[in-house]
Structure 1
Amino acid sequence: MAKERDSVTVLNNAEVENLLDMRTCLEAMEEAYRDLGLNHAINRPRSHTYFPTQSKKWPGFNYRFKSQEGGIEKFGVWALRITSDMAGFAMLPGGIKRRKLMPAAAGNRYVGLIFLFDMETTELLAVIQDSFIQKMRVGATSGVGVKCLAREDSHVVGLFGSGWQAGAHLEAICLLRDTKEVRVYSPTPEHRRQFADEMGKKLSINIRAVDRPEEAVRGCDIVMAATATVDAVFDGNLLERGMHVGCIVASDKTQKRRELDDAGVAKCDVVIVTSREQAVYDEQPDIYGAVQKGILTWDRIGELSELVSGKVSGRQNGSQITLFNNNVGMGIQFAAIGAKVLELAEKSGVGRKIPLDWFLEETSP
């Protein structure tokens, strides 16, 4: 990406949202994972660091610093994504436990930033708020899993979740498969009804809010969980032949979470994850835990980069149950989408400019 610059571009979420669409994100994620599989990209595993003292303002919540980074040769950029969080759990009606981040910053806001660096000049290129990219890159990554693993004749989608991640996931699925019916379940009735109404109008598809988890599984071609849950969202014994299953909970050692139970994992014929290394490092219960219990073996678990680059096989026939566990965010995702966003911003003149000199020093670090 090297070219002579004298400024750093700063972009907020609203500007990014006006520049970025799901189709662009899907293309960027597929490129990123193909390049990772072909050794043209590098990723550093995600780090979650918790400070042990609980917040006085938010009892039960702890400070957490998250970072992930990666670079892609094709785009010439290195991305560092950081969040400074107040993290913990909240209880929903019915005793359902979910992850929650508190708006602890000024004005009840959050802190999440992406730093893009030029890998040739080493200079800082951009500072980008991360929230909208976060939503889109998770949905697009799960979308790549759908593209590679779901049957071509998949028409019925069961969706768990009614928040922003669920919306991004559904948008990606609808771009990739001829979706004719969606059944959405979340624990709060008004949330799932509102989601069905709003997303049905946005995507011009039939979305039905259902009252029981099993209704979002039985008879579906794709079952997608896009939630902030702690515990499994449905009984895995309900999975049927030919289904594709997706989930996104990225557990760590401190906050153990999962969306798919052991019974569901055991029924899957093809298992793909974003990162085996992260599953081990964080001792994630749905993957690492399944291996420890003898439900899975590591040689049966492929990575998305291996799948996209042709190093491992995906679905072999229409009766297999396939699983893509989108088990961690990766730095290469932010490098790929960040590079696309910066390119679009520069073409359209969007964003604020601050002097590059502020970020350069004359002595060696």
Structure 2
Amino acid sequence: MSMKDGPLLLTNDDTKAILDIPSYVDALEIAYRQLGEGVAQNMPRQRLFVPLGEPDTHHWFNLHAGLVPGTNTGALRVNSGKVKFVTQFGTRRMEFPGTLVGLVHVFDLETGTLRGIIHDFYINPIRVACTSALGARYMARKDCRTMGLLGTGWQARWHLTAMMSVRNFERINIYSPNPEHRTRFVKQQQERTPGVEFVAVDTGEKAVRGADVVVAATNAIEPVMKGEWIKPGAHVISISGGDRLDQRKEIDEETVTRSSLVVVNSKVQVELDEQPDILPLIKNGKVSMDQIVELSQIVGKAPPQRAFDDITFHFNNTGMGIQFAAIGARMIEAAEAKGIGTRLPYTWRGRAI
């Protein structure tokens, strides 16, 4: 890219044409390794809410920022939208009626210039899924063959793709409280990956019991998984990551207390957002913050030592700016190589000082 070029705008259609899940997992490995070394920098996620006129409805403003020298990028991700709390199939959850704006601004660290702006419809769920896959690369058993997947939405779909890029699964049990959703999801995935057996099950317990890896990728606010269902030796992932207003909790206390290793993306976020999956356990003395490990402390090192029946739990508890920086770099590079995207005016890059 010439210094005379303006920043690249990538729409959702542009990013859909250049997706490369394995390369994003590798980019995140660089980001989390450097975060653990104190080289990369990450600002804790910030969320602002103000009530609107309708009941249970708020305006939601969401910010992430991070710097990753290993990919020569910094990123600022901004979301703006209306959120409404609803109850479906007996579970309280969030919905985003109307327009949700999501933009990722990618900067060059060497020059300080704006390299691109990415619409976040794809990068958002993908960076969550690839972070889960990165954790599984280090914590899940290499011989795992069965996955239990709770959820059939956008996050669940990308988790399936990302997890299958780091482990060779033979059977995947799928649960959603909506029978039509789980049946359609299984049919779609079976057509895409005929070498893997996809099975729709009618309870969360049936999805979890016997699974080597369990992924809870839902937008439920109340627990959908119980620790008593988990097979000894399994690797468990939850992406709920709520905040003070959105007190989501996908898992019960036993899921955490049964785990010999509890890993989070950010300890700071647990306390800052008062996340109900873990913080109450810390406050009542059932889990110590010292027992909890951040993902950046594991990545780049040998896999954690574990007994055969140990359960590992990755609480993928927050979005991080380094995720958007690392994956945003890969997206911009791929788009430039393929001539995809729209160049904005040169003046958008910044100004000389």
* TM-score past 0.5 threshold: yes
Structure 1: tracts of 5 or more residues without a match: none
Report the secondary structure of 1:46's partner residue: strand
What residue in structure 1 maps to residue 297 of structure 2? 306
Report the number of matched residues. Answer: 352
What residue in structure 1 maps to residue 219 of structure 2? 228
Contact 1:6 1:357 in 2 (8 A): no
- Give runs of aligned pairs for residues 84-123 of structure 1, distance below 5 A: 84-93=80-89, 95-103=90-98, 105=99, 110-123=100-113
Superposed displacement of residue 85, structure 1? 1.5
- Give runs of aligned pairs for residues 1-365 of structure 1, distance below 5 A: 4-52=3-51, 54-56=52-54, 59-93=55-89, 95-103=90-98, 105=99, 110-204=100-194, 205-310=196-301, 314-358=304-348, 360=350
Report the secondary structure of 1:16's partner residue: helix
Q: Which amino acid in the other structure matches residue 360 of structure 1?
A: G
Distance 1:213 1:339 in 2: 37
Superposed displacement of residue 131, structure 1? 1.1
Structure 2: tracts of 5 or more residues without a match: none
Of stretches 244-253 and 233-242 in structure 1, the one that deviates more from structure 2 is 233-242
Distance 2:185 2:171 in 1: 14
Contact 1:265 1:295 in 2 (8 A): no
Of stretches 120-129 and 269-278 in structure 1, the one that deviates more from structure 2 is 120-129
Distance 1:273 1:152 in 2: 21
Report the secondary structure of 1:284's partner residue: coil
Q: Which amino acid in the other structure matches residue 41 of structure 2?
A: I
Distance 2:305 2:181 in 1: 34
Report the secondary structure of 2:318's partner residue: coil
Contact 1:262 1:295 in 2 (8 A): no
Report the secondary structure of 2:222's partner residue: coil
Superposed displacement of residue 55, structure 1? 4.2
Alpha carbon RMSD of aligned pairs, Å? 1.6
Superposed displacement of residue 309, structure 1? 3.1
The superposition leaves residues 250-295 of structure 1 with CA deviations (integer Å, 9 ceiling, x where unpaired) of 1101111111111111111111000001111111111222211222
Superposed displacement of residue 240, structure 1? 2.4
Distance 1:50 1:324 in 2: 27
Distance 1:172 1:358 in 2: 34
The superposition leaves residues 80-130 of structure 1 with CA deviations (integer Å, 9 ceiling, x where unpaired) of 00000211322112x111221122x3xxxx210000112222221111101
Q: Which amino acid in the other structure matches residue 163 of structure 1?
A: G
Contact 1:55 1:63 in 2 (8 A): no
Contact 1:261 1:286 in 2 (8 A): yes
Distance 1:142 1:120 in 2: 30
Report the secondary structure of 2:50's partner residue: strand
Percent identity of equivalent pairs: 36
Report the secondary structure of 2:337's partner residue: helix
Name the TM-score, length of structure 1 as normaliser.
0.93
Report the secondary structure of 2:332's partner residue: helix
Report the secondary structure of 2:165's partner residue: helix
Superposed displacement of residue 357, structure 1? 1.0
Of stretches 231-240 and 330-339 in structure 1, the one that deviates more from structure 2 is 231-240
Contact 2:10 2:117 in 1 (8 A): yes
Runs of 4+ residues deviating >4 angstroms: none
Report the secondary structure of 1:87's partner residue: strand
Distance 2:82 2:257 in 1: 35
